[in-house]
Structures are given as C-alpha cells and as structure tokens.
Structure 1
C-alpha cells in the first residue's frame, strides 16, 4: 500500500473565516461545516479548519505548489484584498515576491497567523 497524506487539522480563531480566506486566495471553495471542522480540499489533501482559542494557536507553515496560472490569479486576489505579502518567510521583504529556481513565490499570513506560501517551482528544482 502506498502512503498518502489524507487530511490535517488547521487550528483557527474562526474556522469558517480561515477556510474561506484560503479558499478565496486559491480560487477554491470551502466545504460545509462537518462537526467542528470546515474542510478545504487542496490537491487531494483535506485541510480541516477547527476553531480553538486564539491563545492556543501555534503558528504553522503551509506551502502550496501551484501552476503559473493559479499563482497569477491568487497573487491578484492577494493584492486586491490588500493582504500584506512578502518575498521571504521572515517577512523582511514586504511587497515583493521571489523568483527562486526560476519560478515565483510569495508568503502571507492567514487570519489566524499561519504562514502561507505559494510557489510555482519546488525548491532545488533549478531554473
């Protein structure tokens, strides 16, 4: 049997807000609430957003490998929504994107403070 990640839980201050935020950026649609979770399927993996007290949330990093077309559309939505974005994970290059390995990449925070990353090329892939 092969191994594949099926789902993971994303702690959120407001599960609907966080799921809808990421769904909007990626051009996807979050699912209906199922118990304590609001699901968002991304590339065959379900992100189950769960509301927990804000003081209990530990920042996580989620990186999404996307096509050039998806990146272009997502980046337009980031800019239209005035979501602060950065070229680096340490947020030292605000208002910029990166071009690592000949692709494009951008970092931004979701409503619960998780670090989100969109890249069009895997790191180390050359270019």
Structure 2
C-alpha cells in the first residue's frame, strides 16, 4: 500500500510519525516514575521528613488530572501542535526548576508545574 503523502520528520505539512506519538505518550509516565527512587536522598538533602517529599506524588497527580480537563478545549482553540510545544517547553523549564530548587516548597511548586506534561499524554492520543 503506497501513501500519497509520505511522513517526514520536522515537516509541519506531514502528519506526525508513529514513533513521535509513542515517545510523547511515554513522557508522562517517565516524569511520574523516574524520580521516585531518589525521594529518600532528596528528603535528606532538603533536611525534611520523608512524608514532605512524598507530597510530590499526589500533588503531581492532582495537577495532572486538573490539567487534562483543560487541555482538550484549549487545544481545540489554539491547535494541538502549539499547545503541545508550549507544554513541553514549560515542562522543561519546570524540570530545571526542580533540579535547582533551594527549598522543598519551591521543589513542590515546580513539581506541580511539571504536570503540564499531561499535554503530551492527552494530545498524542488525540492525534
């Protein structure tokens, strides 16, 4: 079966490649689970109780759930590609904020901001 419109990487006129959609859908799971083994070391680094650092998990899930409700209508108005690119850019900035956070409170704020990566999970499935 031959396609009239071949898929090309980095071309706005072609549809997204399946590997791009797979990677986008996996970013949310990676962002959720990748830092979990480091929680005890992070609580020692910040000098707080382990329970404080564990708040990063439910806060992330709460923000992610709330954003999923908003992402659909916003992407309908602004376009999926724009919302996806802005969401990933905000996620990368929030990740830098988590890396350089001086206090656990600031870390938790940036961790909540990382929940914007829900755009990749929602919009990759919508595409």
TM range, normalised to the smaller chain?
under 0.3
Normalising by structure 1, report the TM-score.
0.26
Task: Select the structure with the greater relative contact order (CA < 8 A; seq sep ≥ 6).
Answer: 2
Normalising by structure 2, report the TM-score.
0.26
- Identify, as 1 or 2, the structure richer in helix: 2
Tell me which structure has the larger Cα radius of gyration.
2
